[in-house]
């Protein structure tokens, strides 16, 4: 993309958009999260790192309300989310892009894309803007949702959540299983969204991808946050990180 | 069906067995003294339906298969036994055996077709098949349609046990019931039963371990049909008739109700449930169609709030397996 | 003429075909409602026959007590009974949402008993008459057969409603929500859509379809408490044959099987009651999930 598809937007860099304190969560009897603390400020990209099974996805799902059994505090935009149902949480202005992408195979690409209703007063991203960000989608509009390649599905998944107008996005491993060229494209997209003022909570195993975009990092292990640092401190932490992530 | 922990793990196997033995002895004792407190005919009817419910419970409680057409086995055996006893003059044990054989055959044929489907599909298929059997029974000449087969002779079992003597008949029916009950219990507690439970817990796992799960499920289905047939044939001798009610959808529904109220996945649940439902029908018979309404309400109440049934709740409280 | 050893006249043949097509219309409408409900709720609505019956009764009551005629009933009865369905879902079925779907089946089974028992108590086994509306009386002489106007109307109306339903589900945005929520309700909720409410309304809609069929049936079968129970087993067989989740499958299978049943009545009347079940057995041998179905 030669020029930015979206206009840059001003952000209140000190405003905390999401504040998670002591978040505990269970899948049936399994106690997965043992007290997660993290925060995300407006306009930031924050990445949650950790091995498989550390509880990263569960954290996102607990914030979204998809994991029902949860205690602690999740304050978004000044309102407590614990106790709310999934659709009420979504309507507060949070969008969630799951690891499996969850493209509806019984719908066409077009139906998938235009399914989410506009929920935020900030307005859904228009079709034009979306196609500027994701030009490939335009040609695939009438295909069945299940017929897309992995990369196309990821593009569609991100495009789809932009239609709600939510300014806080949670992306679960957007680069997983994708070719380097596509990963680059996603990287550019996320950078664009950041420039446009979106706040993004990212879960990533692809360390290099995250390091180019992320302002801050939280490291998870066994359902807890064991480390937190800014991008500038990354170089110093590399050895410790390699140990924690097992890479 | 996720029977909510009706089968609670006990501390030791031997405690389970002790409790089971005590419960069985209690049941035999109750059967022995019951005719002094209630009409023997009523108790014999209850025992037949209790056996029917045990057969149904074998499928739903241990193999996770909901059969909504189980009356086809009860009724077909009843008709065949009644016909064999009345028209062919066979003595009772042979007549019952013939009835059971008919149910077994029906069970094998319908089971083979139904077993490949799971859950909801399976239930609906059993509905359809049992309706088919119902319609065949309406048309078939030997069933005498609406009139049914009346005046079935009770005869002499094995040639010398005179079943027209009410006491002897009572003992005979009790023996049949206890025998059937034990067969079900043995099947569940055997290696066969363990594999069934494993299939219920995690069928893909069982398949990957090399078990031909379809065959096990079919075996359970046929066994259930056989026991239900035993109940039906015996019932034909007790009530001395076989009618369309025996193959009707309402009878299929009743056995579900009995097992639900009594406790699915327990041994004694179906027995208690049968006793309750048969009693209910006797006492409420004067209210006509209200019986259906009340049964429906009990159904709804059980499903919403009382899924473990009476015995299931008791067993969970006492932390034993019944 | 002589077909397969039976002497039959053209009018007789087409007369039976017509009856078959009419029965097929009801099978299609009812199995469509069942398929819609099953798709969204994973529940086999055993009370479907009862709601069909209530639809007919609602038409009867509307006429008896408010003087509102058939045409009003066509609209009001589905709305009223559909609302009852929505309430049932909200009060009872919703509580079973997390459990094994067989519990939902059992609940609707119990409900069917209650509803049918109640109506049987108050109205007995015999039926209430319901007249064919004035505008639809009479018959057309088509030369090879007589076509009663009302019968023709039933077929047209059923086909139209089935087609409209299919259109809404497959081609509109509302239908897209339904299909998406059927596939992945959690994700649809994550977009801010109140899926539980959608589920309630979908159940209500399925029930409304049954009630609509009931109104159509009223002048033909008369209004009887047992009318639901009589038809439900065949409808289940139709749904199994067509495939549980398939909208198109249920519609097509319903019409086709009605015609097959009608033809069987011509050539082999004794089997007409059971032919649908025999076909079901055959289909299950070849395709355990039905002709158009998805795996349960």
> If we measure between CA atoms, which residue out of A114, A146, A111, A138 comes closest to residue C170?
A111
- Residue A101's pLDDT band, with cuts at 50, 70 and 90, is very high
Q: Which residue has the tokens 């009382």?
A: B306
Token output for A39:
């925060």
∠ at Cα B36 (B33, B42), nearest 5°? 95
> If we measure between CA atoms, which residue out of B284, B253, B292 comes closest to residue C119?
B292
Task: For strands A69-76 and A79-80, give the pairing.
Answer: antiparallel
Does position B286 have pLDDT exceeding 60, yes or no? yes
Q: Which residue has the tokens 């997965």?
A: A32
Nearest to C273 among B135, B260, B290 (CB): B135
- Residue C245's pLDDT band, with cuts at 50, 70 and 90, is confident
Contact C110 B303 (CB under 8 A): yes
Query: Does C97 touch chain B if contact means CB atoms closer than 8 Å?
Result: no
Contact A98 C189 (CB under 8 A): no
Chains A and B in direct contact, meaning 3 or more beta-carbon pairs closer than 8 angstroms: no
| H-run or E-run covering A26 | strand A16-27
Which residues of A, range 172-231, sit inside 8 Å of C by Cβ? none
Closest residue in C to A61 (Cα) is C190
Rounded alpha-carbon distances, angstroms, from residue C31 to A241, B131, C73, C105, C116: 59, 17, 21, 16, 20
What is the per-residue pLDDT across A144-180, written as a single tens digit (0 to 9) for each? 888 899 899 999 999 999 999 899 999 999 999 899 9
**Whole-angstrom distance, CA of residue B88 vs CA of residue B38:** 34
Chains B & C: contacts with CB separation below 8 Å: 130
Which residues of A, range 79-108, sit inside 8 Å of C by Cβ? 85-87, 90-91, 95-96, 98, 102, 104-107
Query: Does C285 touch chain B if contact means CB atoms closer than 8 Å?
Result: yes
Tell me which range, A117-121, A187-191, B70-74, B246-250, is most confidently predicted by mean pLDDT: B70-74
Task: For strands A16-27 and A45-50, give the pairing.
Answer: unpaired
Over range A112-138, report the average pLDDT. Answer: 85
Measured between beta carbons, the chain C residues lying within 8 angstroms of B251 are none
Over range C8-13, report the average pLDDT. Answer: 77
Closest residue in B to C237 (Cα) is B128
Closest residue in C to B132 (Cα) is C274
Q: How far is B261 from chain C (nearest CA, A)?
A: 12
Does position B5 have pLDDT exceeding 50, yes or no? no
Widest distance between CA atoms in chain A: 51
Token output for B239:
């009530």
Contact C106 B253 (CB under 8 A): no
Give the residue from A115, A125, A164, A167 with the most C CB atoms within 10 Å of its CB, the best one to mutate: A115
**Whole-angstrom distance, CA of residue B224 vs CA of residue B245:** 20
Is B242 strand, coil or helix? strand
The dihedrals phi and psi of C6, each to the nearest 5 degrees, come to -105, 135
Over range C263-271, report the average pLDDT. Answer: 84
Is C227 strand, coil or helix? helix
Nearest to A90 among C173, C176, C191 (CB): C191
Closest residue in C to A161 (Cα) is C191
What is the per-residue pLDDT across A10-34, written as a single tens digit (0 to 9) for each? 666 678 999 999 999 998 889 999 9
Does position A4 have pLDDT exceeding 70, yes or no? no
Which residues of C, range 152-181, sit inside 8 Å of B by Cβ? none
Higher pLDDT, A73 or C12: A73
Contact A102 C192 (CB under 8 A): no
Neighbours of A130 (CB within 10 A): 23
| H-run or E-run covering A183 | helix A180-195
pLDDT for the residue numbered A220: 92
Which residues of C, range 103-132, sit inside 8 Å of B by Cβ? 103, 105-107, 109-118, 120-121
Contact C277 B1 (CB under 8 A): no
Does position B229 have pLDDT exceeding 80, yes or no? yes
Residue A141 contacts residue C217 (beta carbons within 8 Å)? no
Least confident of A127-131, B164-168, C43-47, C142-146: C142-146
Which residues of C, range 195-234, sit inside 8 Å of B by Cβ? 229, 233-234
Contact C281 B129 (CB under 8 A): yes
Task: List, in order, residues 6 or more apart from A100 with CB less than 8 Å away.
Answer: none
Which DSSP symbol is given to B151?
-
Is C141 strand, coil or helix? strand
Higher pLDDT, C273 or C92: C92
Rounded alpha-carbon distances, angstroms, from residue C249 to B14, B29, B136, C233: 54, 56, 28, 18
Q: How far is C118 from chain B (nearest CA, A)?
A: 6
What is the per-residue pLDDT across B124-173, written as a single tens digit (0 to 9) for each? 889 889 988 998 898 888 888 888 888 888 888 787 788 788 888 999 99
Plot region of A134 (φ>0 → left; ψ -120 to 50 → alpha; else → beta): beta
The dihedrals phi and psi of A118, each to the nearest 5 degrees, come to -75, 125
Q: How far is C187 from chain A (nearest CA, A)?
A: 7
Q: How far is B153 from chain C (nearest CA, A)?
A: 31
Does position C185 have pLDDT exceeding 80, yes or no? yes
The mean predicted confidence, pLDDT, of chain A is: 89
**For chain C, which residues lie within 8 Å of any Cβ of chain A, measuring from their own Cβ?**
173, 176-177, 179-180, 182-184, 186-195
Measured between beta carbons, the chain C residues lying within 8 angstroms of B307 are 103
Residue B107 contacts residue B224 (beta carbons within 8 Å)? yes
Query: Does A164 touch chain C if contact means CB atoms closer than 8 Å?
Result: yes
> If we measure between CA atoms, which residue out of C271, C113, C260, C23 comes closest to residue B138?
C271
Closest residue in A to C170 (Cα) is A107
Contact C173 A91 (CB under 8 A): no
> If we measure between CA atoms, which residue out of B219, B291, B233, B4 comes closest to residue B98?
B233
**Whole-angstrom distance, CA of residue B218 vs CA of residue B115:** 6
- Residue B4's pLDDT band, with cuts at 50, 70 and 90, is very low
Contact C237 B128 (CB under 8 A): yes
Contact C176 A111 (CB under 8 A): yes
Nearest to C106 among B125, B129, B260 (CB): B260
Give the residue from A65, A76, A87 with the most C CB atoms within 10 Å of its CB, the best one to mutate: A87
Measured between beta carbons, the chain C residues lying within 8 angstroms of B298 are 110
Chains adjacent to B (≥3 CB pairs closer than 8 angstroms)? C
The mean predicted confidence, pLDDT, of chain C is: 89
Higher pLDDT, A216 or B124: A216
What is the percent of chain C where pLDDT is above 90? 52
End-to-end CA distance of chain B: 18
Token output for B313:
């709740």
pLDDT for the residue numbered C1: 60
Which DSSP symbol is given to B166?
H
- Residue B232's pLDDT band, with cuts at 50, 70 and 90, is very high
Q: How far is C177 from chain A (nearest CA, A)?
A: 7
- Residue C271's pLDDT band, with cuts at 50, 70 and 90, is confident
Is A92 strand, coil or helix? coil
**Whole-angstrom distance, CA of residue B179 vs CA of residue A144:** 59
What is the per-residue pLDDT across B265-284, written as a single tens digit (0 to 9) for each? 889 999 999 999 999 888 88
Token output for B226:
């056989």
> If we measure between CA atoms, which residue out of A36, A22, A32 comes closest to residue A72?
A22
Closest residue in C to A101 (Cα) is C187
**For chain B, which residues lie within 8 Å of any Cβ of chain C, measuring from their own Cβ?**
1-2, 66, 68, 113-114, 116-121, 123-125, 127-129, 131-132, 135-136, 138-139, 249, 253, 256, 260, 288-300, 302-304, 307
What is the per-residue pLDDT across B249-262, written as a single tens digit (0 to 9) for each? 889 999 999 999 99
> Crossing angle of helices C48-66/C227-242, nearest 10°?
140
Query: Does A157 touch chain C if contact means CB atoms closer than 8 Å?
Result: no
The mean predicted confidence, pLDDT, of chain B is: 87
Contact C107 B303 (CB under 8 A): yes
pLDDT for the residue numbered C6: 65
Q: Environment class of residue B88 by beta-carbon count within 10 Å: exposed (0-12), middle (13-18) or buried (19+)?
A: exposed
pLDDT for the residue numbered B12: 56
Q: Which neighbouring-strand residues pair with C128?
A: C223
Does position C2 have pLDDT exceeding 80, yes or no? no
Least confident of B67-76, B196-205, C17-26: B196-205
Measured between beta carbons, the chain B residues lying within 8 angstroms of C111 are 296, 300
Q: Say if the ipTM goes beyond 0.95.
A: no
What is the per-residue pLDDT across C93-135, written as a single tens digit (0 to 9) for each? 998 887 888 888 889 999 998 999 899 888 887 788 888 888 8
Neighbours of B46 (CB within 10 A): 23
Token output for B190:
């055997």
Contact C193 A87 (CB under 8 A): yes
Contact C180 A104 (CB under 8 A): yes
Contact B2 C100 (CB under 8 A): yes
Which DSSP symbol is given to A218?
E
Closest residue in A to C246 (Cα) is A106
> If we measure between CA atoms, which residue out of A16, A19, A15, A94 comes closest to residue A61?
A94
Q: Environment class of residue C140 by beta-carbon count within 10 Å: exposed (0-12), middle (13-18) or buried (19+)?
A: exposed
What is the percent of chain A where pLDDT is above 90? 59
């Amino acid at each position: 993309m030669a020029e930015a598809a979206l206009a840059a937007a001003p952000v209140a860099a000190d405003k905390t958009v999401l504040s998670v304190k002591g978040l505990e969560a269970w899948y049936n009897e399994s106690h997965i999260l043992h007290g997660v603390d993290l925060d995300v400020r407006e306009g930031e990209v924050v990445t949650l790192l950790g091995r498989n099974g550390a509880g990263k996805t569960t954290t996102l799902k607990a914030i979204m309300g998809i994991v029902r059994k949860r205690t602690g505090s999740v304050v978004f935009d000044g309102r407590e989310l614990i106790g709310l149902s999934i659709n009420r949480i979504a309507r507060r202005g949070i969008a969630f892009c799951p690891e499996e992408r969850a493209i509806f195979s019984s719908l066409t690409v077009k139906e998938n894309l235009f399914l989410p209703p506009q929920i935020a007063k900030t307005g859904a991203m228009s079709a034009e803007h979306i196609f500027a960000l994701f030009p490939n989608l335009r040609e695939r509009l009438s295909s069945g949702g299940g017929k897309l390649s992995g990369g196309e599905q990821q593009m569609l998944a991100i495009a789809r959540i932009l239609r709600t107008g939510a300014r806080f996005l949670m992306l679960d491993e957007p680069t997983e299983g994708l070719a380097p060229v596509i990963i680059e494209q996603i990287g550019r997209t996320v950078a664009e969204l950041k420039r446009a003022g979106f706040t993004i909570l990212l879960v990533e195993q692809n360390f290099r991808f995250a390091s180019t975009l992320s302002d801050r990092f939280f490291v998870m292990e066994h359902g807890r946050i064991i480390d937190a640092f800014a991008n500038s401190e990354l170089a110093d932490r590399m050895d410790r990180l390699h140990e924690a992530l097992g890479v | 069906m996720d029977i909510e922990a009706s089968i609670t793990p006990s501390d030791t196997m031997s405690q389970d067995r002790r409790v089971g033995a005590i419960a069985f002895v209690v049941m035999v004792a109750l059967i022995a003294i019951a005719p002094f407190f209630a009409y023997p005919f009523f108790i014999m009817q209850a025992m037949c339906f209790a056996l029917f419910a045990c057969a149904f419970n074998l499928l739903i409680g241990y193999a996770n298969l909901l059969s909504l057409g189980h009356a086809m086995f009860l009724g077909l055996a009843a008709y065949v036994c009644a016909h064999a006893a009345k028209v062919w003059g066979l003595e009772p044990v042979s007549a019952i055996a013939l009835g059971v054989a008919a149910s077994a055959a029906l069970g094998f044929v319908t089971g083979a077709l139904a077993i490949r489907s799971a859950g909801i599909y399976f239930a609906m298929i059993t509905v359809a098949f049992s309706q088919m059997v119902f319609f065949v029974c309406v048309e078939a000449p030997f069933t005498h349609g609406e009139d049914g087969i009346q005046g079935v002779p009770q005869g002499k079992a094995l040639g010398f046990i005179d079943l027209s003597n009410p006491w002897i008949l009572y003992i005979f029916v009790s023996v049949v019931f206890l025998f059937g009950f034990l067969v079900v219990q043995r099947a569940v507690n055997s290696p066969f039963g363990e594999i069934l439970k494993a299939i219920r817990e995690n069928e893909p796992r069982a398949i990957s371990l090399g078990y031909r799960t379809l065959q096990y499920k079919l075996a359970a289905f046929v066994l259930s049909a056989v026991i239900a047939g035993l109940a039906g044939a015996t019932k034909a001798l007790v009530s001395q008739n076989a009618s369309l009610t025996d193959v009707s959808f309402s009878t299929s529904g009743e056995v579900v109700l009995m097992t639900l109220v009594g406790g699915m996945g327990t041994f004694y649940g179906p027995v208690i449930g049968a006793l309750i439902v048969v009693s209910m029908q006797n006492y409420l018979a004067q209210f006509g169609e209200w019986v259906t309404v009340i049964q429906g309400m009990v159904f709804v109440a059980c499903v919403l709030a009382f899924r473990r049934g009476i015995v299931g709740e008791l067993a969970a409280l006492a932390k034993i397996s019944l | 003429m002589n077909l397969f050893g039976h002497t039959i006249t053209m009018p007789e043949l087409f007369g039976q075909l017509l009856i078959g097509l009419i029965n097929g219309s009801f099978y299609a409408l009812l199995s469509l409602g069942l398929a819609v409900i099953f798709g969204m709720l994973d529940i086999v609505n055993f009370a479907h026959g009862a709601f069909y019956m209530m639809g007919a009764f609602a038409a009867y009551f509307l006429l008896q007590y408010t003087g509102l005629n058939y045409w009003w009933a066509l609209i009001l009865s589905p709305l009223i009974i559909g609302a009852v369905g929505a309430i049932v879902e909200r009060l009872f079925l919703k509580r079973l949402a997390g459990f094994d779907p067989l519990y939902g089946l059992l609940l609707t089974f119990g409900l069917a008993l209650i509803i049918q028992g109640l109506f049987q108590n108050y109205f007995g086994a015999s039926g209430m008459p319901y007249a064919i509306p004035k505008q639809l009386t009479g018959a057309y002489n088509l030369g090879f057969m007589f076509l009663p106007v009302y019968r023709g109307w039933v077929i047209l109306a059923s086909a139209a409603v089935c087609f409209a339903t299919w259109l809404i589900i497959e081609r509109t945005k509302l239908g897209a929500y339904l299909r998406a929520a059927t596939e992945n309700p959690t994700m649809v909720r994550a977009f801010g859509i109140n899926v539980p409410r959608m589920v309630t309304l979908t159940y209500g809609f399925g029930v409304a379809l049954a009630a609509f069929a009931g109104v159509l049936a009223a002048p033909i079968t008369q209004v009887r408490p047992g009318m639901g129970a009589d038809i439900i087993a065949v409808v289940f067989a139709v749904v199994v044959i067509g495939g549980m989740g398939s909208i198109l499958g249920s519609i097509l299978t319903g019409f086709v099987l009605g015609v097959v049943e009608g033809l069987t009545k011509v050539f082999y009347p004794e089997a007409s009651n059971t032919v649908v079940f025999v076909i079901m057995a055959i289909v299950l041998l070849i395709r355990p999930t039905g002709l158009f179905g998805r795996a349960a």
